[in-house]
Amino acid sequence: MSGHSKWHNIQGRKNAQDAKRGKIFQKISRELFMAAKGGDPDPANNANLRMVMDKARAANMPKDNIKRAIDKAVGGSADNYEEITYEGYAPGGVAVLIETLTDNKNRTASTVRVAVTRNGGSMGAAGSVAYMFDRKGYIAIDRTTTDADEDQMLEDVMEAGGDDLQTADEVFEIYTDAKDFTSVRDALEAKGYELANAELTMIPQNTTPVPEDKKEQFQHMIEQLEDDDDVSNVYTAAEE
């Protein structure tokens, strides 16, 4: 994991995401609905719901939208979404994982396949690339919001139970074991740190460079997948 930075990709996607804010809110609403439906609608008693609410706030989702999604679950809506992960290879042989939340798996399977294969990629069987990724907690702290230096930050991260700290120009990036993510996040917030980003994510164990002649095709595939209403997350092993 050493040397792998997510922040550049997060910032690189921000402008594109701003233009698709309504679609992003729709996707997060589904996640809020399922988290509240699958557990206690009170985030104080539902770590999964609390995490999705953090994601909603990071995306500047209005409080009314968040409340509506949770109220819909509390109201006993019959809507239901299934979590399905697709695996395959992007152009240039780069491993890709596509997480979806769908109410029609046939539709989703078709649109994902089209986005991948028509852009020079190929679909794989379940388990074909998942073993190349590790589920990790990821936390970013904007360095302008804290007086802590790298030594202090490292001490606080280790005390909170984090696994790794990477320091970039703009942020401190913290990685945790997936099962420790919530406790590490809460411990850092309790110390007064403002979190610029906090999420469970998939980190590739090794990365693959995208060939120069495949970069445009690769980017188009990612954009097409992320534009799909049913796709929640797209993870790749592309070298940054």
Instruction: Find the CATH number of the domain harbouring 103.
Output: 3.30.70.980
Provide the domain count of the chain.
3
What percent of the chain stands above pLDDT 90?
72
pLDDT at position 10 over 70: no
Angle between the 21-37 and 63-74 helix axes, to the nearest 10 degrees?
40
Residue holding tokens 């997936």?
Answer: 178
- What is residue 236's predicted lDDT score, i.e. its pLDDT? 96
Same domain, 163 and 183: yes
pLDDT band, residue 210 (cuts 50/70/90): very high
Q: Note the maximum CA span of the chain.
A: 51
Same domain, 121 and 211: yes
Distance CA 72, CA 80 (A): 11
**How high is the pLDDT of residue 23?**
82
Which pTM does this prediction carry? 0.83
Note whether 195 and 100 are same-domain residues. no
Distance separating alpha carbons of residues 102 and 27, to the nearest angstrom: 10
Distance from C-alpha of 186 to C-alpha of 197, rounded to nearest angstrom = 13
Are 64 and 182 within one domain?
A: no
The H or E element containing residue 17 is: helix 7-18
CATH of the domain at 55: 1.10.10.200
Asked if 155 contacts 172 with a C-beta cutoff of 8 angstroms, the reply is no
- In tens, the pLDDT along 11-45 reads 555 555 555 777 888 999 999 999 999 889 998 89
Range of the domain at 102: 82-126+206-236
Residue 72's CB: how many other CB atoms inside 10 A? 16
Summarize pLDDT for 153-183 with one digit per residue, the tens.
999 999 999 999 999 888 999 999 999 998 9
Handedness of CA 199, 42, 69, 99 (dihedral sign): positive
Nearest to 221 by CA among 108, 110, 95, 114: 114
